[in-house]
Amino acid sequence: MQANFVKLPTVKKTGPAFVSTRNACKLCAPLGASLVFRGIEGCVPLIHGSQGCATYIRRYVISHFKEPIDIASSNFSEATAIFGGAANLKIALDNLIRQYKPSAVGIASTCLSETIGDDVQGYLEEYRKVHVGVDIPALIYASTPSYRGTHMDGYHEAVKATVVALACGGPRSNSLNIVPGFLSAADLRHLQEIIADFQLPCTMLPDYSETLDGESWSDYQKLSPGGTPVSAIRAMGRAAATIELGRSLAGEETAASCLTEAFGVKRVTLGIPIGIRETDLFFSAVQEIAGCELPQKYAKQRGRLVDAYIDGHKTISGKRAVIYGEADFVASMASFLDEIGIVPSLCATGAPTKKFQEIVSSLLSAGHKDIIIREDADFEDMLDICSKIGVDIIIGNSKGYYLAKNLNLPLVRAGFPVHDRIGGQRILHVGYEGTQQLFDRIVNALIEYKQINSPVGYSYI
């Protein structure tokens, strides 16, 4: 059953007309690729383009994770833009290998290098031929111009490129591959904990749960410890199955589909496990692969979550929310809000994906009125919509702060990036436990907002 939707009429803006994106609800493709490459053990991301691209990515990633991250650059100049970046790329590789001694180098292209037609794959083949007999790191190349997609496109392209470059076949094992999507470090750790409790060997790609949320060091380390070992990535072609999280990936060419086509590894595509419905599907898939029952630990977590839904229902029932961020994140959040009684009045993503409305609508129950699903959206667009439809709460990353400020509404921070709070990398979204934490934060945000704006206030609910 599907909800009812409206097509929002063209809005006549009170300010000057504009056609450009203002305060975008998306980030650049090489940023997503860089996150993947830092989730590989001993891997250094190398941006094939200008220094500014690498600086922008460092700024965003450090601000969210509060951890050091080195992003190398082939450092294009005016001359490079005319004559090509082959020489710059080879010098950058020489410098990286000499200074970092990495196990892998992940090269992500940019708008500039793609526009001038640089044959990066050809350059890497030439580099390997020059270094025959020399121990060089694994070289992974992902084509990630931002004019062709968002940070999520760069993320998925880098995961696919890594699997294509490194995965090998062989005797089938009982291990499980997890391609988790762009989740928090806490989410990655929790997914690994779940799989471990099913006693399944697991390879997660990427895994930046330690490289971008690690311990304090007594001495500076050029490369943070942690990440998916290159040897484990090579063994992904021998796994029993691959679970990829993200409903938008269904039917697309992804890392999981490449493993299926090349090595016969079973592919399972699910939504991000936020909320009871989506988490039930995740646990069912893991149970089937592992061939065992749900551990009692998670049955109890689910039971406590159901009880919490009952406790908080009187506070949240009928409230209207705005959700924005990555398409798959928004879809799973919309499903979660729908099951707890909050109307996801506006579901927005900056990605120009044609699947978004279909995916979100398929996850909502019938009976909702006037739900707006907007792709290729920016925050100017969202502000126009919200000022007309009336909402009670906003859920998404820190880029929505001014939306919340203009509308005088509570903002529950979730997803990426979280720049204006500590611990964005430790926000748990997934599983029954992550859903429980999200539920408590949403209910308490609504209680706090009502309490603060009450003329008398109250101390009991």
Mean pLDDT across the chain: 92
Contacts of 309 (CB under 8 A, 6+ apart): 276, 339, 340, 439
At 254 the pLDDT is 97
At 211 the pLDDT is 95
Mean pLDDT, rounded, for 6-35 = 67
Among 120-134, 219-233, 426-440, name the most confident range.
426-440
Compute the chain's Rg from CA coordinates: 23
Superfamily of domain 313-452: Nitrogenase molybdenum iron protein domain (3.40.50.1980)
pLDDT band at 103 (very low <50, low <70, confident <90, very high): very high
At 275 the pLDDT is 97
pLDDT band at 258 (very low <50, low <70, confident <90, very high): very high
Mean pLDDT, rounded, for 413-424 = 94
Domains 29-215+224-272 and 313-452 share a fold: yes
- Nearest-5° Cα angle at 252, 371 to 145: 90
At 2 the pLDDT is 46
Pairing between strand 72-73 and 43-48? parallel
Mean pLDDT, rounded, for 58-81 = 91
- Domain locations in the chain? 29-215+224-272, 313-452
At 54 the pLDDT is 93
Residue 52 vs residue 21, higher pLDDT: 52
- One DSSP character per residue, 290-315 reads HTSPPPHHHHHHHHHHHHHHHHHHHH
The residue among 137, 127, 125 whose CA lies nearest residue 166 is: 137
Mean pLDDT, rounded, for 49-66 = 92
pLDDT band at 454 (very low <50, low <70, confident <90, very high): confident
pLDDT band at 17 (very low <50, low <70, confident <90, very high): low
At 133 the pLDDT is 83
At 457 the pLDDT is 78
At 20 the pLDDT is 63
Could you tell me if 226 and 209 are in contact, meaning their C-beta atoms sit under 8 angstroms apart? Answer: yes
At 441 the pLDDT is 98
134, two tokens: 């020399």
- The DSSP output letter for 202 is E
Residue 18 has pLDDT above 80, yes or no: no
Superfamily of domain 29-215+224-272: Nitrogenase molybdenum iron protein domain (3.40.50.1980)
Mean pLDDT, rounded, for 439-455 = 94
Could you tell me if 282 and 178 are in contact, meaning their C-beta atoms sit under 8 angstroms apart? Answer: no
* Percent of the chain whose pLDDT exceeds 70: 95
Displacement of CA 206 from its chain's centroid (Å): 11
- Reported as a single tens digit per residue, the pLDDT across 189-240 is 999 999 999 999 999 999 999 999 999 988 888 899 999 999 999 999 999 9
Q: Which residues of 283-305 are buried (b: 16+ CB within 10 A; e: fewer)?
A: bebbeebbeeebeeebeebbeeb
Mean pLDDT, rounded, for 71-100 = 91
